[in-house]
Structure 1
Amino acid sequence: MNKQHKDIIIRDARDEDMLTIREIYAFQVLHGVSSWEEEPPSLEEIILRRDAVTHAGYPYRVAVCGDEVLGYSYASAYRPRPGYRYTVENSIYVADAVQRMGLGKRLLEDLIVTCTEMNFRQMIAVVGDSENIMSIDFHKKMGFQQVGIIKSIGYKFDRWMDSVLLQLQLGDGDKTLPDD
């Protein structure tokens, strides 16, 4: 599949995008370590999750070429306590057929700009497994710094997996107090 960057737009996710989003996510659940779920959620569950993200005031975006969804990203609360309200966690998924074409970069750049404009100050990437070098290196190239590894916290594909934490300051980060 050869997609030209100029033909790809990033916009808010719509209801008609959700079936393809579910398919992209299901592939990662079954074959990847980006998600530690073991069974792909239903379309209804994926819609409920998207709605929870957007109703909480966070962005949920898609990369599309024409009517075809190629990938998606969203930011969500890093933790539910009020003290974390200026910190978001990112999630990015790209269809397997269009991996390594720069879509993840475009989705993350869009998410960083959007979250900065929304006055969030920190973005956290929680990468599934320390062997997921592609995702770790991707986040580092995007300006994230690795800030920790939680060893053997997850179990999938008959092995223990680590969780790698990376962090990016947004806007003023911790240099100024937030505007409430």
Structure 2
Amino acid sequence: MADAPTLTVRPATRADLPAVTEIAAHYVLHTVATFQTDPLPLAGWEERWEALRAAGRPFLVATVPGGAGLPDGVAGFAYVGAWRERPAYAATGEDTIYLAPGREGRGLGRALLSALLVEAEKSGVRELVAVVSDADSPASVVLHEKLGFRQVGRLERVGLKHGRWLDTVLLQRSLG
């Protein structure tokens, strides 16, 4: 938690989106943490950011100073999107959280997800769902569980990426 004293978690701005684009692209291209197969371009992130703002949903970034060969700036991002598009799901959201490579294990994920939970509740979300690929993401499952999520299901072999069939773990937390 060396970065914790100088960590800032705040709403994302348009100026943060190039860093968000870069962080997300890493996970798309090099991991199975996301089932996205093509990186979203900056214009796509701008569109997502605008849509979430218009919906009153949180989109946060964690920023830290550099050190240990890592640059200053955005070290992670998190947002709450729609769980499903049908109106009956309006008070249910799905969280997304990613840290920049090399920023794991410093308490940033916990700080970012904790802040996201507060902001999600303020935005009217009553139930928050996380869908986690369990192949390479045990830390994500553990992080969610430490912050009060519980495992509510598993979908087996629902994603094919990098030549592997992948399962997802469903986690859920009630807010408010």
Task: String of CA shifts for 1:117-154, please: whole Å, max 9, x gaps.
Answer: 22321110010235532211221111111000111111
2:137 is the counterpart of 1:138: no
Q: How many residues align?
A: 170
Residue of structure 2 in register with 1:174 after alignment: none
Question: 2:5 aligns to what?
Answer: 6
Tell me, yes or no, if structure 1 residue 91 matches structure 2 residue 91. no
Structure 2 portions without partners, runs of 5+: 66-71
User: Quick check: 1:130–1:164 contact (8 Å CA) kept in 2?
Assistant: no
Q: Secondary structure at the match of 1:98?
A: coil
Tell me how far apart the structure 2 counterparts of residues 28 and 19 of structure 1 sit (CA, whole Å).
15
The residue number in structure 2 matching 1:175 is none
Distance 1:98 1:160 in 2: 28
Give the structure-2-normalised TM-score.
Answer: 0.90
Which runs of 4 or more aligned residues in structure 1 lie more than 2 Å from their structure 2 counterparts after TM superposition? 129-132
- Deviation of 1:40 after TM superposition, in Å, equals 1.2
Q: Judge conservation of contact 1:60–1:72 (CA < 8 Å) in 2.
A: yes
- Structure with the bigger RCO (C-alpha within 8 Å, sep 6+) is 2
* Correspondence for 1:33: 32
What's the CA shift string for 1:60-117, capped at 9, x where partnerless? 0101125611101000111111111111110001001211111111111001111112
Which aligned pairs between 1:95-106 and structure 2 lie closer than 5 A?
95-106=100-111
- Mapped to 1, the partners of 2:16 and 2:102 lie a distance apart of 17
Aligned to 1:113: 118
What is the DSSP-based 3-state SS (H/G/I as helix, E as strand, rest coil) of the residue aligned with 2:8? strand
Residue 19 in structure 1 maps to residue 18 in structure 2: yes
2:152 corresponding residue in structure 1: 147
- Where does the alignment leave 5 or more consecutive residues of structure 1 unmatched? 172-180
Identity value in percent: 38
Q: Which amino acid aligns with 1:7?
A: T
- The one-letter amino acid of 1:73's match is A
Aligned AA (1:16): A
